[in-house]
Every structure is written in C-alpha cells, then in structure tokens.
Chains A and B, each alone.
Chain A
C-alpha cells in the first residue's frame, strides 16, 4: 500500500492575542502521500518541527467535531481533508482558524457564542406534564417518523457551518445554522410537546435572518444540510403562525408577486413586507431607487407565459413537489 509522496507546503496561521502584535503565517514543507489528512500533517509538524503549534483534535475520524478550521479558505474538518486535492487546486495549503469566533491561540477559537446559541434553542425534549412518557417502555415511533429528522442527528457540532455563515458574521442575533438545524430536530420529534411554541419563538429569534446562501450546507461534513432545514423551519413557522414577521411576510409576498405577474412588483413587495406604516421608514431607500432606477417602483406587466407560472403554482398547491414537475 506504499504510495508516492508529494511535497506539501503549509502556511499556517499563528497568533496569540495579547502576546503577539499581529498574526503571522509559518511555512512548513513536508513530503507526504497525497491522501494524507491535513490533521495528520499538522500533528507531524507538532511532533517533529514545532510542538507549540496549537490546535484542537481528538477522534481523527470525523465524529468528535474538534478539528474544524479554514483549509484554503473553506471551513472543513482537518481530519477529513486530504492534502492531495488541496495541493492540486491551490498549489499550497493555507491553514487558518475558523471564522466568526475569536482566536484564543493559533487554530483554537473561542466557541462560547456557538454553544450559547445552541443552548438558547432549548435543545432537550420539552414535555407536557399532562402527557407523561409511557412508564417502563419506549415511546412508539415509526421508521417514517425517524426519517422526519432527515440528517440532523448526524450533526457533530463541529461549527464548520457557523464559521462559513455570513449571517452569523453580519448579525449577532442570528443563531447560526447548527442551532437552527438542532431546532428542526426538536420540532419534528414526535415526543416533544412544544413544537408550536418553538416555531413561534424562533420567528422573532433570528430565523428570518438567514440569507439562504447555502454556504452552511456546503461546509457541513455530515450532510446535515442546515440551510434546507432552515427552509423547512420557515415553512413550518408560517404554517403554524402565519406570516407575522418581515421575513415571513416578504416570503409570502414574494410568492404572491410571482404568481400574479411572473416577476417582482418591488413596491408591492415592500408594502407587503413592511406594512403601510413601516413602508414610510423605507422612504430614503425608495428615494434612492427612484433616482437611479425609477422603473423598479412601477408595477411590471405580467411576463410572457404567465399561464405556465400559474400551472406550476397549481401543481404545488395540489401537493406536487419540485421533483414531480417537468
């Protein structure tokens, strides 16, 4: 099973806040087989070159979630990322700490905000004392009910999604993809008795701050697909409570707009999202648009083939899914 080696150049972020004036990148050059995981390479650096290189790691099999970091600008588990493809694509391997969490030292970040957001969604079964658990035996649950969790039980809390998320970066009120995927896991749990409360509360606790960029789903090493679970939560929240928030009203308005004319009526959508009074607060934005692109503020004509759009809506209303459509 011997294999050719490649010469791998690692540029590794080094920084100890409070001690170092600024971060630096230390370069290590190692000859390794191309399938070598980045973690193995970093541990080799620690053992043979510099024992002070600081990182978290434990299981080396993508199950403990300790070693997420930026590998050539992507949030990934170091134990799972082979060096070969990285070198082929970028010629070298730049190793940096995860984003959206302050650096404690080198590749170790402070995960306090990540864990706090996870705690905040109340990640435990909430029970109604009027409906106690069956005594001495398990709650029945069908295989179909187990399937409803999708891939969320696979989450290893590595925070790669949290690191990749621009909404986390932009707004501390956003709980992050992992916390929302975890919320989904409890909302679909037939044993949990607070589904409705959970959905109502998350509408104002950051659900609609998701930018739908799907970078979390791209980053997730366990295929949890947080962005898709966030979409599910949005649908369930609207079904549970109606469109009460800017985010949900925007989503509902968007849907109506397209159905009517096949394209957005920006003025109408803004009114639907913010309401007539809230719209006043948007006046400066409106004036800017009016100066630059006044046509955006006029109601558009229905697009050609609007009847086809209507057919899609009708099919979806009749319970068809995206996959059923031609």
Chain B
C-alpha cells in the first residue's frame, strides 16, 4: 500500500503552496490532482493579487476594505493576519519567477479593483493566475515529491476521528487505490459547477469539500455564493474586474451608466455583490438588452491599452462572443464565480477533523465573509496554502501510522462499483444538468423562501435519483463517465448545503440577498453558518464572528 507523510489533494495554487511548505518543513509529500497541475483552475484567475505595498496605501486599509467587503462576516483576526502576509507573499512569488507588470520605476505595477480604497491589485496583464501558477509549479519542480497526475479523489478514510488516508481513482489505469497518509490537505478549489451559469471550469466540482463533509468536517458559510458581475452572455466566460479597473463602463439598453444609482461614489468599482445586483435589477426592470444582458464598454480606453492590459479578454470576446472590445461593447451578465464557503478552518488550515487541513477556495477561514473582494482569492491560496502546509507537516511529524487494509478499500468502493454493474439507470450528465438548472433558477442572486424550499425539494429528489445512477462506459482506461459520476455525487451533497443554509439565513448580507428579508440583521445573523452532515441532510449550527477593531457599519460604495 502507498504511504505518505502529507497528502495534498488538488494542485492549484493552494495545493502547490501547501506542498512546498510541507516539503520545506522536511516532510515527505504526495500531491494528487485530477488535472495536470498547470491545468488547474487557478490559472484562469485574471485580474490580480492584492497587497498594500504602495506608499499611499496601508495594510490597515486593506484590512478595513476586506472587512467591509465581507459585510462584517469575515473574521477580523484572520483578515489582519491575511493582509499582513500579502506583501511578503507577493514578493516571494516574484522571487520564484512570476512575471508581473511593472511601473516605469521598475516596481510592481498596481491597478484599481472593486471595493478597494487604493489601487492595490498587482497583476500580470489579465492572466495573473496563470503567471503565478507557472512560477509556483516551476519552483515546486525543483523539489522532491510524488505527483499523482489525473487521479480523482473518491473519499477520505477516517478512523476514531483521525484522518488515515484517502481513496482515489487513477484515471489512466482505471484503478481505485487506498493511500495512507498521516495528514491530508484539501485544496481542491471551488464547486461552481453546481451552477449552470458559472465562470468556473468543468473540473470545479468540490470533490475535496464533499469528501471532508462526508467524514464529519464542518462546512462554513456555504450559502454565500459570489456572482461575478461581468461574464460573457452565452458562455459565462469571465471578463475580469480588471476591465472595470482599467476604466470599463457598464451601460444599460438606454445608454445610461446605471451604476451611478447604486454606487454613487465608486460606480463600476463597487464590490461584486453590489454590481451584480445592480445589473440584475436593471435587467428585471426592463432596462437590459433583449435576451437579458447589459453592456461593458471598453472602446474609449483605446486599442493600445485594451490590447496590452486586457489581452486575454480580447481573445475571449473575439472568439467566444464574436465581439471586438476595441470597437464594440461586450454583452455581459452576472454568473456564479466564487464560493465564499467551504471547509471550516482556523488560520493554520486546521479543521475539526484531526489530521485534516484545508486551504484555498475549498476552505473557509473566513476572510471573505459574505462577499469576497477581487484580488483577495489569489492571495488567499498562497497565504493559507502555506499555513496549511506548515501545520500539516508539523502534525504529520508526530502522528502515528495507522494500519489500513485492502478490506478498507473494498468497503469504500463497493457502492461505486455498483454504478458500473447496473443494466439500467440514469447517466450522471442528466443529473448534473438538472442540478445546475435548479441552482440557477432557485438559488441565484436574489432568493426567496418559496424558491429556496423548491430548491431543497428538487436537490433532495436528485440525490435520491443519484442512488440509482448508472455508468455505461465499462472501460478501465480514462473512464470519464465514472469521473462524472463521482463529481455529480460530490456536487449534489454541496448543493444541498448551499440551499439549506440559504433558506435558514433570513437576512440579506453580502452576496446572500433575500427578497423577503432585504436588510442585514446583525442582531440575529452576525454569525457563521456551520453545517455537519446528518442522516437527513445538513445539520446547521452557528458560530460567532471574530472582531478586533472594526465595528459593523452600513456598507456604502
């Protein structure tokens, strides 16, 4: 049986940074990923990474902006730590080889981003995630570790409340394997594919979050789903906030720069929840274009600036929308983009399950609270990836070795084997698309009790149907049909937690907007939602928010 000190699941920025930290701490490390690490979704991050390194800027302002952006649901102790680490983290990535844009004096160039008091978003054109991912992977490549490339995570193995290993599926060989681990770091990223209209990659299915939930890990604040204001109309492909940071304007069908009504001070650069609601309101009130969208205009920036600073989105717009941003407005509307919720952790990535750590979008520390600011997620992957790697390594140094057997493997995979042995049953893709329709329709930007109840009912019905799923493809080599089934099973569990949490929270805060409870209710709801898996679905409880220096105020942009 394969054994490792530290197993990192997911090889995007958080997973890679965790692996590097654990290797630096002297542990033996294995990294599992269902994609080649350079194909991770971190590489799709466009706009940039926040660090208050400018002379006029300050760490305190970054902290304040993040607290305010979170609508006071972020834990302020965690946010303070996070923002203090920003400068050193960006410098480290520069030393690893990241090619950032520069100012004329040779320092790191910065652009303005939504919800930020100063231009503090350091960037590499509009492919900052790709630039960081390449540099980190190339740095990690100089170290010794085991890479399990194109392996799906099936489940976690926990005995007596302690993580003992993982069960994973080797796509190339079609084999399930039990891998013993003293510590496991979950860094499997987001689960945006529970929605149909999403900027997320097809691979963003929350496998690690679902596996952690299944063994008793607490999920935190799952109802807070960020919808990015500007995704291309049909494909849902992301158009970076950097486009507005560079001066892009939002206009409705009447040609009005409508953000003046919703954010009279900062217009297009309000935080994402505010801008997304504004766009949806314009569309619902009849001022959108037929088909339900508004325009993002860049033309006035000029060809040179558009093509140098926003090179990738030029290609996206031309290829995927047939529109040239140099001469035409982009048709955009909001799309699911980021999950504020995830596996609950402390600032060292530790969860409530011994030996299990988590970082990045899979985790919820929480620094984003009910709404994340642009430029904070790339930073989160690196700051907390490193913390989780250090903590997992320290834990693994003293953890005992377990003794799992091949019987443990057989038990774990028996239900999965049954999928392939059935002669009738539904294909996973049917359930996936139905789930996505339910989430788009009932658990979107604006929510109501009636919609959420219907959403819960429909997701639970899909869970029942999932028990009779069928995998038609019988091949052992690269069986994507089986991978699909694993992913849909994971996503249905997470979709249920999102809907149940959203139904319970009878207030509007950050990205969670209830039509029937339109205001923030600090007296009752200034608290984190905690979900544990129970026999009949998620069991909710609540936990206090950590405050240090900032009292809740009304949020105005």
Contact = CB atoms under 8 A, between A and B. Distances in A.
B168 interface: no
Interface string A113-128: 0010001000111000
Nearest to B331: A1
A58 B35 contact: yes
A310 to B, nearest CB: 38
B475 A105 contact: yes
A80 B94 CA distance: 31
A62 B319 contact: yes
Contact of A136 (B35, B38, B91, B478): B91
A153 B312 contact: no
B477 interface: yes
A64 B142 contact: no
B139 interface: yes
A106 B430 CA distance: 23
Q: What are the nearest 8 A-B pairs in CB distance?
A: A140-B106, A52-B473, A47-B429, A59-B201, A124-B138, A138-B94, A51-B481, A64-B39
Contacts of A37: 320
Contacts of B480: 46, 51, 54-55
A137 interface: yes
Contacts of A18: 477
A48 to B, nearest CB: 8
A138 B98 CA distance: 10
Contacts, number: 154
A49 to B, nearest CB: 11
Interface in A153-210: 153-154, 156-157, 189, 191
Contacts of B127: 63, 153-154
A149 B429 CA distance: 42
B110 to A, nearest CB: 12
28 contacts: A19-B475, A19-B477, A51-B481, A52-B473, A52-B475, A52-B479, A54-B475, A55-B480, A57-B202, A58-B39, A59-B41, A59-B202, A60-B237, A61-B235, A62-B315, A63-B44, A63-B130, A63-B312, A64-B39, A66-B39, A104-B172, A123-B138, A125-B96, A125-B97, A138-B95, A138-B100, A149-B99, A154-B130
B102 interface: yes
A285 interface: no
B138 to A, nearest CB: 4
Interface residues of B, number: 68
Contacts of B234: 1
A156 B43 contact: yes
Given A35-B322, A61-B237, A16 B475 contact: yes
Interface in A88-110: 104-106, 108
Given A58-B202, A61-B44, A63-B130, A133 B475 contact: no
Interface string B421-460: 0000001111001000000000000000000000000000
B203 A58 contact: yes
Given A1-B233, A58-B39, A60-B235, A153 B124 contact: yes
Interface string A60-96: 1111111000000000000010100000000000000
Interface string B107-145: 110000000000000001101001100100011011000
Contacts of B35: 58, 64, 66
Contact of A139 (B94, B104, B134): B94
A61 B316 contact: yes
B478 A54 contact: yes
B44 A124 contact: no
Contacts of B90: 138
Contacts of A1: 233-234, 291, 331
Contacts of B429: 46-47, 51
B201 to A, nearest CB: 4
B36 interface: yes
Contacts of A55: 480
A189 B202 CA distance: 34
A128 to B, nearest CB: 14
A143 B315 CA distance: 22
Contacts of A189: 97, 99
A67 to B, nearest CB: 10
B41 A58 contact: yes
B289 to A, nearest CB: 9
A143 B473 contact: no
* Most chain B beta-carbon contacts within 10 A, residue among A1, A16, A37, A108: A1
A54 B134 CA distance: 27
Interface string A225-268: 00000000000000000000000000000000000000000000
Interface in B294-347: 311-312, 315-316, 319-320, 322, 331
Nearest to B293: A1
A9 interface: no
A277 interface: no
B203 A136 contact: no
B101 interface: yes
A123 B141 contact: yes
B43 A153 contact: no
Nearest to B95: A133
Nearest to A158: B39
A54 B312 CA distance: 28
A16 B237 contact: no
Contacts of B130: 63, 153-154, 156
A210 B237 CA distance: 36
A168 B365 CA distance: 47
A146 B142 contact: no
B203 A105 contact: no
B552 interface: no
A153 B427 contact: no
Contact of A143 (B96, B102, B131, B481): B102
Contacts of A54: 475, 477-480
Interface in B394-426: none
Nearest to A153: B99
B36 to A, nearest CB: 7
A34 to B, nearest CB: 10
A58 B138 contact: no
A156 B40 CA distance: 11
B106 A141 contact: yes
A16 B227 CA distance: 41
A321 interface: no
Contacts of A35: 322
Nearest to A126: B142
Given A115-B36, A123-B138, A60 B316 contact: no
B238 interface: yes
B88 interface: yes
Nearest to A33: B234
Nearest to B433: A47
Contacts of B85: none
A301 to B, nearest CB: 49
A51 B484 contact: yes
Contact of B39 (A19, A65, A124): A65
B546 to A, nearest CB: 29
Contacts of A318: none
A64 B41 contact: yes
Contact of B141 (A63, A124, A141, A143): A124
Interface in A4-58: 16, 18-19, 35, 37, 46-47, 51-52, 54-55, 57-58
A137 B36 contact: no
Contacts of B95: 125, 133, 138-139
Contacts of B97: 124-125, 189, 191
B472 interface: yes
Interface in B459-475: 471-473, 475
